[in-house]
């Protein structure tokens, strides 16, 4: 809980000086005309959070590995952290970028720190059988090999569980050896998360590994979520044209049901992660999405924001920098 405060000393870096921002997050490069969205600081209700210090982060993390695991919201946060650290290191510091799928790693060689992203939108495994993609709700053995021995793990999942049609990432779901063409998506999410939770409880030693789970990142495709009353003068149907955060302490829209499932599964764990609960503070940021200012869109798509605006990812610099400021605070303060 808290509020967004305008602060001229932000952002912590310029997107033009960051080495690895994906075109779909690089709003300034792709023509976003306003910059106020870069200048908001999160002020929790009962405390102040420390300003992120990239050099301090590297020195405390010397010789350690950090891995974000999940979907493109995890990738958003991974790139944000690399930008935040890169802005603070001395000129000429040695870095190395190894890009791949599912694993990409950025190394700060002078400090022995590596920051990785492992792409697995459902956390659980997907197998290919006779050209069909099988989402294995009970199996995580393939993916989890990459997570062993990492010092700090931050997981996320959520958005892909609701995708249907062309966006759906699987052809069948396998539950207990039986194939399903579909099922209630929240039930599927819960089964997948319980498989993940069992693996964590059995394999992660929390005296060695710090464990985080990123709360569900909200989308802003429906202005009725944030325009109260019936007088919606705006004809837009997305986050296009939004330039300021919401104010107040209650978000009028609906919260992702997935957050309830996540909290329930984590409550039952012996070895629970720290939940980086970014859902509410992100829900207030209808202004922070790429909208049409994304290198992933064609000029025809940009001309049609109602159908093409990206209101699920976040601009960099931008909101994920706050997620990482909270991550930094939870790790060290």
Residues identified as active-site: 72, 310, 313
Task: Give Cα 213 to chain centroid, integer Å.
Answer: 10
**One-character DSSP codes across 52-94:** P-HHHHHHHTTT-EEEEEESHHHHHHHHHHHHHHHTTSPTT--
E runs forming strands in 219-311:
274-276
* DSSP-derived pairing of the beta strands 95-98 and 103-108: antiparallel
E runs forming strands in 215-319:
274-276
Instruction: Record the tokens describing residue 38, joined without a space.
Output: 């870069």
Cβ atoms of 324 and 41 closer than 8 Å: no
Instruction: Record the tokens describing residue 223, joined without a space.
Output: 């202005």
User: What CA–CA distances, in Å, run from 123 to 18, 65, 105, 159?
Assistant: 28, 19, 18, 12
Cβ atoms of 215 and 276 closer than 8 Å: yes
User: Which sign does the torsion angle of CA 191, 193, 194, 199 carry?
Assistant: positive
């Amino acid at each position: 809980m808290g509020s967004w405060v305008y602060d001229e000393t932000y952002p912590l870096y310029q997107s033009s000086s960051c080495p690895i921002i994906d075109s779909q997050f690089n709003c300034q490069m792709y023509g976003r005309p306003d910059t106020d969205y870069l200048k908001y600081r999160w002020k929790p209700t009962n405390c102040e959070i420390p300003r992120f210090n990239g050099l301090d982060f590297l020195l405390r993390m010397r010789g350690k590995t950090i891995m974000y695991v999940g979907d493109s919201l995890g990738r958003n946060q991974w790139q944000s952290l690399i930008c935040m650290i890169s802005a603070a290191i001395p000129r000429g510091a040695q870095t190395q970028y190894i890009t791949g799928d599912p694993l990409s790693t950025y190394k700060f060689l002078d400090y022995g720190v590596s920051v990785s992203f492992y792409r697995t939108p459902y956390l659980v495994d997907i197998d290919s059988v006779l050209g069909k993609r099988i989402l294995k709700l009970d199996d995580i053995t393939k993916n989890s090999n990459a997570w062993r021995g990492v010092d700090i793990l931050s997981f996320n999942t959520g958005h892909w569980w609701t995708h249907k049609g062309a966006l759906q990432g699987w052809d069948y779901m396998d539950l207990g050896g039986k194939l399903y063409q579909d099922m209630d998506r929240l039930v599927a999410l819960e089964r997948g998360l319980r498989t993940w939770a069992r693996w964590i409880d059995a394999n992660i030693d929390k005296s060695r590994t710090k464990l985080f789970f990123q709360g569900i990142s909200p989308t802003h495709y429906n202005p009725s979520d944030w325009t109260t009353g019936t007088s919606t003068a705006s004809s837009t149907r997305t986050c296009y044209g939004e330039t300021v955060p919401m104010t107040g302490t209650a978000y009028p829209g609906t919260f992702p049901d997935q957050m309830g499932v996540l909290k329930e599964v984590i409550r039952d764990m012996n070895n629970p992660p720290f939940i980086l609960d970014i859902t509410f503070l992100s829900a207030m940021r209808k202004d922070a999405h790429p909208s049409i200012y994304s290198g992933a869109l064609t000029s025809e798509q940009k001309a049609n924001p109602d159908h093409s605006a990206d209101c699920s990812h976040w601009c960099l610099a931008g909101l994920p920098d706050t997620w990482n400021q909270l991550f930094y605070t939870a790790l060290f303060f």
